Amino acid sequence: MVYDDGERYERYHTVEPTPGTHQHDWQLSIAARLHRNHAERWHRGSHQRRRRLFRGRLSLAGAVDIPWPRCFIEDGVLAVLIDRAAPLTFLQTALHEDDWIAVFLKSYQSERIAQRVRPVRQIQGSRFQAWLRAENAAGANVYVSVNALAPHQRSRRREAVRAVRHVFLDADHDAQDVLAAIEAGADLPSPSYVLWSSPGRAHLFWRVSRFTCDTVEALEKHLARRFGTDPAATACTQVTRLPGFVNHKRAMPYVVSIEYRDRDRVYEPGDFPKPPPLTTAAPAHVAQTTRKALDRARRYIAAIPPAISGQHGDVHTFRVCCRVVRGFALANDEALDVLREWNSRCEPPWSERELMDKLSRAHRYGREPIGCLLEERP
């Protein structure tokens, strides 16, 4: 639950000890009702009352553990301190006052998603922030686009990006090692700020100008290969977590924080290493083999049913991605093209960034032998 104590901090995600023999096993029952006498009001309410409270919102999260360093106990209730100023500071620092950006919400429990493209000033408003806090308390992860979009867009397609505001890297493991490698290099400036999404994982930002979608994506792909960061997080439509909200993706919830290093300097393309030129075209026999793989993959995917939210759609999509990138040995961009028609049948369709992320993880963690679906049957 959430309530405002009149200062810049909120008491967020209250919990009580689980009854039973293990009295130190704390669990979290997440709600989004703004009451000072939160524990009493919440436990007095019925199941039907809770359903009415969350009608039209993302579903309630299940019981999860809370990290002790961000908790305190008051009147027998465990709570997490959240800095309400953190998202406002980030929006003011990272973007221009007249920018429009996408706000993306996703619940990994219910698989429901929501997206709004709004002006930064509206997102900073108290009403919009209260809505985000309520949805986050109900289990939704809160993301925002790292670059500015054209006004009045309905999605964050590549064509909708109006201005590139950041060079972005997603260090999804060993983030401290990545930062150390960046600092050790002489050809790359220090990040403008570092967002800690969970322990050992960070999003790295450089404030920039005079980049195009093509130039920033080429640079991010080059840096991702060089430092071993997530290669799927290199699109100009990339989103990041909003500081000050809880990351519900993993078993242990984590309050997203940010470390500002140099807010004022804005870098230009000349401040970064130049990406190497694209490789030359593959030999004719290799291209012919690739065309065969693409044709077979398209025929295979055409017969696969779509992913449907609420029917294990996330798992189904991961399996389909494994078939494409591993079974047919396709590169991520080739696999993405093959999946476009199938994705249009999904309910709801995945964003390009989500599909690229799943393709990257399927290639990394899938167990199918590479090219196993290309073998000729006797």
Number of domains forming the structure of the chain? 3
Asked whether the CA dihedral 59, 65, 69, 72 is positive or negative, the reply is positive
**Same-domain check for residues 232 and 168:** yes
Q: If you count them, how many residues does the chain have?
A: 378
Whole-number CA gyration radius for the chain: 22
Helices 175-184 and 213-227, interaxial angle, to 10°?
Answer: 100
- Return phi, psi of residue 305, to 5°: -65, 155
Segment 70-127, tens digit of pLDDT: 454 455 544 556 689 999 999 999 999 999 999 999 998 887 889 999 999 999 999 9
Note whether 43 and 131 are same-domain residues: no
Question: 312 lies in a domain?
Answer: yes
Q: What is the pLDDT of residues 304-318, one digit of tens each?
A: 999 998 888 888 999
DSSP string, 117-170: EEEHHHHTSHHHHHHHHHHHHTT-EEEEESSEE-TT-SS--GGGEEE--EEEEE
Q: Are residues 246 and 308 in the same domain?
A: no
Within 13 Å of residue 249, how many CA atoms lie on the same side as its CB? 15
For residue 276, give the nearest of 354, 341, 222, 353 by alpha carbon: 222
Is residue 193 in a domain? yes
Give this prediction's pTM: 0.62
Query: Average pLDDT, whole number, for the chain?
Result: 79
In a domain, 278, yes or no: no
When pLDDT is cut at 50, 70 and 90, the band that residue 375 belongs to is low
Interval 184-237: pLDDT, tens = 988 999 999 999 999 999 999 999 999 999 999 999 999 998 998 988 789 899
Q: Are 184 and 159 in contact (CB under 8 A)?
A: no
**Could you tell me if 102 and 207 lie in one domain?**
yes
Residues spanned by the domain of 77: 2-82
Instruction: Give yes or no: residues 75 and 158 share one domain.
Output: no
